[in-house]
Amino acid sequence: MLIKITKDFVEQIQEYIQLENKDHLINQLNDFHYADIAELLRELEIEEVIYLFKILSKEKTSNALTELEDFKRERILKELTSVEIAENIDNLDTDDAVNIVRELPTEQREEVISNIEDEKHAEEIIELLNYDEKTAGGLMAKELVKVNENWNVLTCVKQMRLQAESVKRVHSIYVINDQEKLLGRLSLKDLLTQSTKTSIKDVYIRNVDYVSTSESGEEVAKIMRKYNLEAIPVVDELGKLVGRITIDDIVDLIAEYAEKDYQMAAGLVEDVEANDSIWDLTRARLPWLFLGLLGGVGAARIMGLFEGALAENAVLFMFTPLIAAMAGNVGVQSSAIIVQGLANNNLKGGTRNRLLKEFTLALLNGAILATVLFVLTLVWKKDISTALAISLSLFSVIIVAGIVGTFIPLFLNKRGIDPAIATGPFITTSNDIFGILIYFWIAKMILGF
């Protein structure tokens, strides 16, 4: 059932909280999905959120906690005791539990873990904390179903029932040997159609996709996307099965990478959110703004070299913003396509081929746009030399901007630098300068000033 959290509903919940009508709140929210609970929590004040955390079941609140934005979750965790945090973590899969523990102050982590009732769960959380959070080891959950190759079907089913109690969703059944090494996977269909005495060794599928604990999260995402996997097993250096990564974790990771790339393209050097402090936001924005300032000063300095020509040919000044804007736009378009291709791993051909293709594309686009600009300028100013100078400048600027926008992200990628940094202010500023320089140089040759 789709539940819509309306303004009236939120106000009603706030009223019940003020009245401390615990029973009514529990009854009303009992059937809500935890994602709906999270949506409600986003609309409430922190004191109201904490009240609900005190009265609702830990199964509801713990899962809702994982759905909230970092800043909201951080505020909630500050208001909860270590025991209350531990009670919530006890209800989460290990991967979600680790994500929350990582957000806690270092001194509080040990206290929270020591209060987790399930000792095995606590040990698994400690194990996962040792992995880098952006690797397969840091992304995986310990909850899974595994069977031994030496079991028969009857023993396998019995063991699966026991293991499934601690697994919310069974995506796959993994087959291991006595040394816990991953051998393959078991088809549920094959399991159901075999005799109870049949050995698992005779029916399991030996081809199985897997990743190592040290594999980067980005690489895991590419593998799961390529093979349309809902889950993928994770093995350690010895090939032992140690966990699994599910599609929901990869979706969250992809969203995080996309947000980071979007911020970099917009000229933000740090990962920030709208609710961060003014100082944090300023620190994230200022470096690229400073670069833009220097680029603007550089462009102004170039224009200053042609100050006398501008006085005699005022029409050139009118078209300066157009040239700069087109240079920036073309560069950003070119770099965005390259960055997207690199991110999706579907960029074909070497650097030379990409540059040749972009050069051809720029020639076509530049010719069309320059022709249109030539006609419009000629009709407006009735001067063929001026129209030719401006349109030829635009043509040249588009070609250069396209090549620069293609080359820079490819160059950065080969140097191991995130190419997303090439889009936005970096490309715009550099192409503004190139554009202005080319514009006045061509105008000088044609108009003779």
Can you give the pLDDT at residue 268? 54
Q: Give residue 237's Cα distance to chain centre.
A: 28
Can you give the pLDDT at residue 274? 57
Confidence of residue 53 (pLDDT cuts 50, 70, 90): very high
Q: Is the pLDDT of residue 1 over 70?
A: no
pLDDT tens-digit map of 202-260: 999 998 999 999 999 989 988 998 888 989 999 999 999 999 999 888 887 877 766 66
Q: Is the pLDDT of residue 104 over 80?
A: yes
Cα 242–Cα 245–Cα 251 angle in degrees, nearest 5? 165
Q: Is the pLDDT of residue 388 over 60?
A: yes
Exposure of 369 in the CB half-sphere (CA atoms within 13 A) = 19
- Kindly report which listed range (42-51, 223-232, 245-254, 336-345) carries the lowest average pLDDT score: 336-345
> 347 is written with which tokens?
């960029």
pLDDT tens-digit map of 267-290: 555 565 656 677 776 776 677 677
Residue with tokens 């009735």: 382
More confident residue, 436 or 55: 55
How confident is the prediction for the chain on average, in pLDDT? 86
Can you give the pLDDT at residue 170? 80
Residue with tokens 């000229």: 267
Can you give the pLDDT at residue 318? 84
Sign (positive or negative) of CA dihedral 221, 227, 228, 231 = negative
Q: Is the pLDDT of residue 121 over 70?
A: yes
Q: Please state, in angstroms and as integers, the Cα–Cα distance from residue 102 to each residue in 10, 13, 106, 107, 236, following that order.
A: 31, 31, 8, 11, 22
How much of the chain, in percent, has pLDDT values that exceed 90?
49
Q: What is the dihedral of CA 101, 105, 111, 113, to 10 degrees?
A: 10
More confident residue, 299 or 140: 140
Confidence of residue 449 (pLDDT cuts 50, 70, 90): low
Can you give the pLDDT at residue 267? 53
Instruction: Please state, as a whole number, how many other Cβ atoms lie within 10 Å of the Cβ of residue 119.
Output: 8
In the chain the domains, ranked by start, together with CATH numbers, are 7-131 (1.25.60.10), 145-255 (3.10.580.10), 278-447 (1.10.357.20)
Name the residue among 387, 361, 362 with its Cα closest to residue 373: 387
Can you give the pLDDT at residue 281? 66
State mean pLDDT over 401-405. Answer: 89
Q: Is the pLDDT of residue 123 over 60?
A: yes
More confident residue, 307 or 117: 117
Confidence of residue 312 (pLDDT cuts 50, 70, 90): confident
- Kindly report which listed range (15-24, 261-270, 386-395, 433-442) carries the lowest average pLDDT score: 261-270
More confident residue, 309 or 182: 182
Can you give the pLDDT at residue 372? 96
Q: Give residue 17's Cα distance to chain centre.
A: 36
State mean pLDDT over 99-115. Answer: 93
- Kindly report which listed range (43-52, 155-164, 335-344, 400-409) carries the lowest average pLDDT score: 335-344
How much of the chain, in percent, has pLDDT values that exceed 70?
90
State mean pLDDT over 83-102. Answer: 93
pLDDT tens-digit map of 368-379: 999 999 999 999
SS (H, E, C) the chain: CCCCCCHHHHHHHHHHHHCCCHHHHHHHHCCCCHHHHHHHHHHCCHHHHHHHHHHCCHHHHHHHHHHCCHHHHHHHHHHCCHHHHHHHHCCCCHHHHHHHHHCCCHHHHHHHHHCCCCHHHHHHHHHHHCCCCCEHHHHCECCCEEEECCCEHHHHHHHHHHHHCCCCCCCCEEEECCCCEEEEEECHHHHHHCCCCCEHHHCCECCCCCEECCCEHHHHHHHHHHCCCCEEEEECCCCEEEEEEEHHHHHHHHHHHHHHHHHHHCCCCCCCCCCCCHHHHHHHHHHHHHHHHHHHHHHHHHHHHCHHHHHHCHHHHHHHHHHHHHHHHHHHHHHHHHHHHHHHCCCCCCHHHHHHHHHHHHHHHHHHHHHHHHHHHHHHHCCHHHHHHHHHHHHHHHHHHHHHHHHHHHHHHHCCCCHHHHCCHHHHHHHHHHHHHHHHHHHHHHHCC
Q: Please state, in angstroms and as integers, the Cα–Cα distance from residue 362 to each residue in 204, 347, 371, 430, following that order.
A: 55, 19, 14, 17
